[in-house]
A and B are shown apart, each in its own frame.
Chain A
Amino acid sequence: MASILLVEDLTKRYKNVLAVDNISFEIEEGLCFGLLGPNGAGKTTTVEMMEGILKPSSGRTFFQGKPIGSHFYERVGIQFQSTALQDFITVEETLKLFSALYEIKRDMAEIVEICNLQDILKRDNRKLSGGQRQRLLLGLALVNDPVVVFLDEPTTGLDPQARRNFWALVEKIKGEGKTILLTTHYMEEAEILCEEVAIMDQGRIIARDAPKKLLSENFDGIFVRLPWSENLELPESLGENVSRGKDYIEIHSRDVDDTLHHLIHNGMHLDGLSIHSPNLEDLFLKLTGSSLRS
């Protein structure tokens, strides 16, 4: 597939801080591309330079093969990490206002349906809950039927239910073949929604590929986790396969049966034991040596 967005040697420097350090990548048309990383990794700075909101210190962004120009905003939809809306106007009026700003318009009824806005159309923007507000902001990003949708941490601050509802909306948009650039620090979100991810840390991209491919390349087993206690004595034979979390220890195992047998054989209690497959958070930990949410 052809790349719809191309980032070339993008750098952003604020006085003594290098927020984005010479990154390059491209996004294929029709994919959901995830830009992942902890707070302060440079995700929002990167995406805002790609959106033309921030001026890069150096480097360029290409949209459909051309540097972004005046027509760019007619063809893309943007949802910022935090956006205020005008007070005292309703959801319906806000949608109409934004629709009037574009030459290309998508049918309002479709947007209302996609974003589940039917029940709140007459509601004042000030009275929206977090989830309703994010649905409206997504609707605003779709009023011009964009070919690329930028979603900057759209589920931050939402409760788990609202987050999952929002994922369902994103899946609907993906179903329409639109390209999505999603920034998030929720690894689960990226694993569920994104076909390709780039992991950022300290302004650089440290890994980039399909989530499953990244995991299979970096891990060849699963994790057995046990609650930490003062009396816990692990067999020395486990050696370097053990790592310590805040309130647990984790054993990297290539054969679960063998690991469990080994633990039982050494007289260990397995209360609270859990087993999980490696995920992007584990990958980040492995690549950077620090936790994503730290």
Chain B
Amino acid sequence: MQRFLALVHARNMEFVRDRGNLLWNLLFPIFLVFGFSFAFSGGENELFRVGIYGDQGSRLSFLEEPYVKTVNYEKLSLALNKVSHHQIDMVINFETNEYFINESSTNGSVAERIFLASEESTDFEHRFLSGKPIRYVDWFVPGAIGANMMFSCIFGAGWIIVRYRRNGVLKRLKATPVHAFEFVAAQLASRLSLVLFVSAIVYAGTNLFLKFVMEGSYLNLLLITILAIVCMISLGLVFASRIKSEELAGGLMNIVIWPMMAFSGVFFSLEGAPVALQKASRIFPLTHYIEAGRAIMLDGARLADISTNLIALVGMSALFLLMSSLFFRWE
């Protein structure tokens, strides 16, 4: 335990005293949150987003309008939740021939008028929902923090170990009684504490100004955040287990990082994306974190509601840790 704590402390000191790196880790996600908040705060989206539930039968002419984008939902409750939070403008339930709009949504009201101008609308009854609007920034913040966590975990843990291997730090530690497991566990613990600390600072700092929607439990958010950090550090450790070249390690890490950035729903929802892409994105830890984080923050999801994400993150962490411990070489 003494060895473990000493290694954690040394790595933490190295991180905290590297001012440039520390500032970058803090400022990057803050810039990201404020930047995207600003970029997407002005004006409404030109498209009307309409949720579809049930078999449509013959296609409604309203849904063929070029300014209407449709999203199919398998669960009505999820679609209604989106309307409540102003994330989509309308839901049409073809099972019961009802449509739902949020009574406080301007976009919803306009979408309804266009819909009512069509002849098919007479077959549908309207229903009103209420709920606070979800701003883009509320939706975006789990993605921004998750993306920063991903960079910090994969590069921070993985790349650093590759550097230690290349410059001989690992070789020196090998010539001590330290076991590989102790070293790897210490790196994981150090990075976990640092990334968690930075993420908390970023969340609290931006929340002071932007007042994010938080419908769920902070404890649940903390739990999913810890699991995601462990999972992504473990992924970084897989790369770090025996590569000696920083360039090669950086290249391989980028192969994983950039698809995750693009297809985990950091910036935009994958709801309208092809089903194959949506399914493929499930292999990314970041997807599970962002999905669960948004569910907790925006929908007040409990642990049972995000159990799939929790299980996925735990399973992936176990797999990555097993791989990294099997492959690990000091040199």
A positions within 8 Å CB-CB of B: 51-53, 70, 73-74, 78, 80, 82-89, 93-94, 96-98, 100-103, 140
Known: A53-B171, A98-B176. A86 touches B3 (CB 8 A): no
Known: A84-B172, A97-B10, A102-B176. 16 other contacts (CB 8 A): A51-B175, A52-B175, A73-B175, A78-B172, A80-B168, A82-B168, A83-B168, A83-B172, A84-B168, A85-B169, A86-B10, A93-B10, A93-B13, A97-B9, A100-B3, A101-B3
Chain B interface main SS type: helix
Chain B residues with Cβ under 8 A from A87's Cβ?
14, 18
Interface positions, chain B 275-331, Cβ under 8 Å from A, are 331
Cβ-defined contact, B175 with A78, below 8 A: yes
Complex CA gap A150/B176 in Å reads 13
Chain B residues with Cβ under 8 A from A101's Cβ?
3, 6, 173, 176-178
Q: Indicate which residue in B9, B18, B167, B176 contacts A73 across the interface (CB closer than 8 Å).
A: B176
Known: A73-B177, A89-B13. A84 touches B169 (CB 8 A): yes
Chain A interface main SS type: loop
Complex CA gap A98/B13 in Å reads 15
Check: B17 CB closer than 8 A to any chain A CB. Answer: yes
Chain A residues with Cβ under 8 A from B18's Cβ?
87-88
Q: Indicate which residue in B17, B167, B174 contacts A53 across the interface (CB closer than 8 Å).
A: B174
A-B contact pairs, 17 of them (CB 8 A): A74-B177, A80-B171, A80-B172, A82-B168, A83-B172, A84-B164, A88-B17, A89-B13, A94-B10, A97-B9, A98-B176, A100-B2, A101-B6, A101-B176, A101-B177, A102-B176, A140-B172
Chain A residues with Cβ under 8 A from B174's Cβ?
53
Across chains A and B, which 10 residue pairs bring their CB atoms closest together, nearest first?
A: A100-B6, A84-B167, A88-B17, A78-B175, A101-B176, A88-B14, A97-B10, A73-B177, A83-B172, A84-B168
Interface positions, chain B 15-36, Cβ under 8 Å from A, are 17-18
Closest to A90 in B: B13
Complex CA gap A52/B3 in Å reads 21
B positions within 8 Å CB-CB of A: 2-3, 5-7, 9-11, 13-14, 17-18, 164, 167-169, 171-178, 331
Known: A53-B171, A80-B171. A102 touches B177 (CB 8 A): yes
Closest to B7 in A: A97
Q: What's the nearest-Cβ distance from chain B to residue A93, in Å?
A: 7
Chain A residues with Cβ under 8 A from B13's Cβ?
88-89, 93
Cβ-defined contact, A80 with B10, below 8 A: no
Chain A residues with Cβ under 8 A from B175's Cβ?
51-53, 73, 78, 80
Complex CA gap A177/B173 in Å reads 26
Closest to A101 in B: B176
Q: What's the nearest-Cβ distance from chain A to residue B175, in Å?
A: 4
Closest to B167 in A: A84
Most chain B C-beta atoms within 10 Å of own C-beta, residue among A73, A83, A84, A102: A84
Most chain B C-beta atoms within 10 Å of own C-beta, residue among A70, A89, A101: A101
Cβ-defined contact, B14 with A103, below 8 A: no
Chain B residues with Cβ under 8 A from A84's Cβ?
164, 167-169, 172
Complex CA gap A93/B176 in Å reads 17
Q: Indicate which residue in A80, A88, A103 contacts B177 across the interface (CB closer than 8 Å).
A: A103
Q: What's the nearest-Cβ distance from chain B to residue A239, in Å?
A: 52
Chain B residues with Cβ under 8 A from A100's Cβ?
2-3, 5-6
Complex CA gap A80/B168 in Å reads 9
Complex CA gap A51/B174 in Å reads 10
Closest to B175 in A: A78
Cβ-defined contact, B169 with A86, below 8 A: yes
Complex CA gap A73/B175 in Å reads 6
Q: Indicate which residue in B5, B14, B167, B172 contacts A89 across the interface (CB closer than 8 Å).
A: B14
Most chain B C-beta atoms within 10 Å of own C-beta, residue among A52, A86, A96, A103: A86
Chain A residues with Cβ under 8 A from B10's Cβ?
86, 89, 93-94, 97
Complex CA gap A102/B173 in Å reads 11
Chain A residues with Cβ under 8 A from B173's Cβ?
101
Complex CA gap A85/B11 in Å reads 12
